[in-house]
Amino acid sequence: MFARMIRTSALVLSAVVVLGCTLWAQSVEIFSANPSATLTVVIKGKLGPILSGSDPLGLNGDSGTLTLKASESLKPIAHTANSATYKLPAGAITVTAGTNKFTTKTPSKMTISLGSSADILTLKATGPSGLMLTDTSYLQTGSWTTAVLKHPGVFKPSPQKLTPAKTANGPGSKLSYTIFNGTTVLGFTGTISNQDTVDLQLPEEED
C-alpha cells in the first residue's frame, strides 16, 4: 500500500514538472515575439574610419542614425540553421548620415545571424540616386533566442555598444555604401537599442 502511494505521488509530480516545463516554454515563445507587435530598432553613432573606398559622400567622421520598424508577424524569405532573412516593406528604414537623410521607397532586407562569438544584424537598403546601403551591427552573442529565426523579435540587453570593424572584411560594426560605381566601407562606433510595441485592438463601444 505504501509503495503504491509512493508510485502515485511520483507520477503526479512528473506530470506537474512536464506541464510546468511546457507552460514555461510557451511563455518564452510568447514573450519572444508577438504577431501583433511592431519591432523598432535604433542604431546611432559615428561613422569612420574609412576601411576601403574613396568616400564620395564625405561621411567619414559624421554622425549617423538608422531607424528600423518591422512587424513581428513577418516570416523569413530565406534561412539557414543559424540565420534568417526578412523582407521589409518600403518605408521600414530611415537613414540619416551627415546631411544626407532618406526613408526607403522600396523593400529592404534584414538578416539576423546567431553566432558563437557574436549575433549579427545586417540591413540592406536602397536610397536615392541609386545608393545601395549595407549596415552591419555586431551584438553580444546570445542577444536573440532561436525564436528570431521564425519571426523578428527583440534582443537583450538593450541598448548595446557597437565596436567598429578594423578592416573592411573583418568582424565589427560597419557601414558600406555603393554609389557612382564605387563602394566605400566605414567603421561604426555607437549604440544599438530596440523595443517592441503591441498594437492593441480595442473592442468597439456599443451604442
Give the pLDDT confidence score for residue 4 in this predicted structure: 46
More confident residue, 166 or 28: 166
Which pLDDT value is given to residue 36? 76
pTM of the model: 0.81
pLDDT (average), residues 183-196: 98
Name the residue among 173, 172, 117 with its Cα closest to residue 141.
Answer: 117
Given a cut of 60, whether residue 102 has pLDDT beyond it is yes
Is the pLDDT confidence value at 35 over 60?
Answer: yes
Residue from 83, 159, 87 nearest 123 by CA: 87
pLDDT-wise least confident of 53-57, 108-112, 202-206: 202-206
Between CA 47 and CA 187 the distance in angstroms is 6
More confident residue, 21 or 71: 71
Instruction: Write out pLDDT tens, residues 117-169.
Output: 999 999 999 999 999 999 999 999 999 999 999 999 999 999 999 999 999 99
DSSP one-letter string for 26-69: HHHHHHH--TTEEEEEEEEEEEEEEEES--TT--TT-EEEEEEE
With DSSP H G I counted as helix, E B as strand and the rest as coil, what are the percentages for the chain, rounded to 5? Answer: 20, 45, 35
Q: What average pLDDT does the segment 22-40 reach?
A: 57
In this predicted structure, the answer to whether residue 205 has a pLDDT above a threshold of 50 is: no
With H, G, I as helix, E, B as strand and everything else as coil, classify residue 164: strand
Who has greater pLDDT, 197 or 198? 197
- Cα gap 123→17, rounded to integer Å: 42
d(CA 97, CA 44): 10
